[in-house]
Structures are given as C-alpha cells and as structure tokens.
Amino acid sequence: MWFLLACSGAHSTLDTPIALEGDGVQAIVRTEWGWQGASTRVGMWAERFGTDGEVLADVERDPDGSVWLYFAVQTGLGEAVSALRIEGDSGVLPLGERPGEDVLRLRRTGVDESRLAASELASTAGLQAARGAWESGAFLLQQDGKTVGEIRFRGDAPPMVGVYDEWWLTPRPVEASLVARGAELVVGFDVEPSLQGEGGLLRINVPLQTAVAPIGEVPVDEERRFTLIEGHLDEERRAATIQASIAAADTLEETLVLDHAGRLGRAAQRGESDCASWDEIRADWEVIFAGYELSIAAGPDGCAVSIETSRRQHGRRFKGMVKP
C-alpha cells in the first residue's frame, strides 16, 4: 500500500524496539521521546527502496489488534508513503495494488545494530542504481533470465513497449498508455494476438522492479511475471528476438492445434461414416479455437478438421487439415 502523501509523527503504544526481517527487507521500529511526548520512527531497507535513515511514522491501531505504520520511503521514482502492518511477531508490507499481490512478509528478530547499518548502506547503493535506471528509462523485460521484451519511459511522452515471445508479439516497440496506481505503473499497448480487439497490459511494480501480465483483477498463478533489468535492445538483437519468438509461437501453435483438432474430430464422429458439422458442436469448442475458421468433413478413417486463421497474426498462422 503506497501513497503520494505527506507523513507526520503520532503517539505510539507499541512495545519497541521492534526489529523485522524477511523477503529481502530489514526494518526497525523505535519509540522516540521528546518534549511533546512519544513518537514512532521506522527504518526500513531493501534492495531498491528504503527510508532515509529512521523516519517519523503515523500509527493507526486496528480493532483486530494489529498496528499500521505509515511512513516516507525513497524509491527509484522518488518519495512515496509506505504502509507496514505489525501483528504479534510478524509484519506485512503490501506493495501491490491487487489483493494479495507483491506482499512482503517479515518476522520479528533480535535487534542487531551492525546488521541494520549494513542493510541501510546496501539499500542506499541499490537505491542509487535504481534511480539511475529510472532516469535512463530503458528496461529489458526478462523471464527466467531470458529477454522477452523491452520498455522505454520517455518523461512526459508515452512509453514505448515491445514484447517478443511465443505468447505475444509487437512488430516493433509501440506507444503505450500509462496510468500510475500506488506503487505500480499500469501500461497498456496494442499486441498480437488480438482476438476481440483486446490489447496487452503490464502492471509494473516500481520498488520491486518487476512486472506482471494480468489476466484479471485478482492475481492467479497462470499469469506471466517479469523482471525489469536496465538496458535496451539494438536493432540486430531486436530482429533476432522477434524471429525467435515467431518460430517458437509457430511450434507451440502447431502442437496445440494438432492436439485439439484431433480431439475435436473424435468428438464430431457420428456413427461409422457421419460427422457433426462445426456449427453443431462449436459451442463446446469455440473458446479453444478462437481466431480460427473451421470445417469438419467425413473421411475414410473418420472426421477430418480443416483449419485456417480468421486473421493471420502471432500465434494464429496455422492452416491445414488434421486427419484422424
């Protein structure tokens, strides 16, 4: 949970100091006493974001007994406000906008000042690198260490996005829309395949420098996730990446079409020598064959399925007859 708001100190009833660690984060919560009473300070440091020292936090207590701390953090794109929830011996740092997504989980540990100091020092260096990356604005999209796309942020101009793998493709980097939502940048762009005019979408988490291609408003395991690495593709490497993605998509498409069409042919069989038409059974299959035009005909060995694309595009290039 991140906000672009100011943050001020508040009285705390927390039993401090509280040291927390987990998911690459080190944090410390302390009570500070002054002439106006007690205030709460938080220090939190991770690879690409963190507090500027130990900063004042607002404290809000939930009816369930948990405590929320709101405090300023520094990210690659500047200052934001983070929320840390503490309950018992654990802490939760929600960084995503969708429910349950990009939630960092912390556990209480002993206060180790040398470890905290080392974490702050490492975070400062990582934050400096993150700021340099966001200032340049050029990132590679990587999945399992493989470059599958690129994105360039251009200040007030629309970002440019290119995606190149077996699942989706832009013929070149294309202009994209951009909406900021909390700690995320939501980027929309034209992409193939587009079966009903839909486009591509990336939700980019700024502090984590990660991205996801969302399927819906609730995260699911099937969604593809990426890491943003500073860099760019030159024309030669981009062309090679595009060609490799087309070849991979064609191989995947042929495998899937042959399997599904074989099953469709068997489902269409009516007796020994008759076959149902595509219109008769399409209701059960049209989601699988979205983007294709089909016909079914009886042959000497069963039902043959003829397939071609309604519009030739990435992942929809197959044309042929699948015989039993």
3-state secondary structure the chain: CEECCCCCCCCCCCCCCEEEEECCEEEEEEEEEECCEEEEEEEEECCCCECCCCEEEEEEECCCCCEEEEEEEEECCEEEEEEEEEECCEEEEECCCCCCCCEEEEEEECCCHHHHHHHHHHHHHHHHHHHHHHHHCEEEEEECCEEEEEEEEECCEEEEEEEECCCCECCCCEECEEEEECCEEEEEECCECCCCCCCEEEEEECCCCEEEECCCCCCCCCCEEEEEEECCCCHHHHHHHHHHHHHHHHHHHHHHHHHHHHHHHHHHEECCCEECCHHHHHHHCCCCCCCEEEEEEEECCEEEEEEEECCCECCECCCEEECC
Residue 242 domain-assigned (yes or no): no
Total domain count, the chain: 3
Range 8-12 average pLDDT: 44
Range 7-34 average pLDDT: 81
Whole-number pLDDT of residue 6: 36
Name the average pLDDT for the chain. 93
Residues 305 and 191 in one domain: no
Whole-number pLDDT of residue 13: 60
Structural domain of 93: 2-133
Residues 107 and 141 in one domain: no
Residue 241 domain-assigned (yes or no): no
Q: What is the tens place of the pLDDT at every residue in 194-237?
A: 998 899 999 999 999 999 999 999 999 999 999 999 999 999 99
Range 110-128 average pLDDT: 96
Residues 77 and 198 in one domain: no
Residue 82 domain-assigned (yes or no): yes
Q: What percentage of the chain exceeds 70 in pLDDT?
A: 96
Residues 223 and 288 in one domain: no
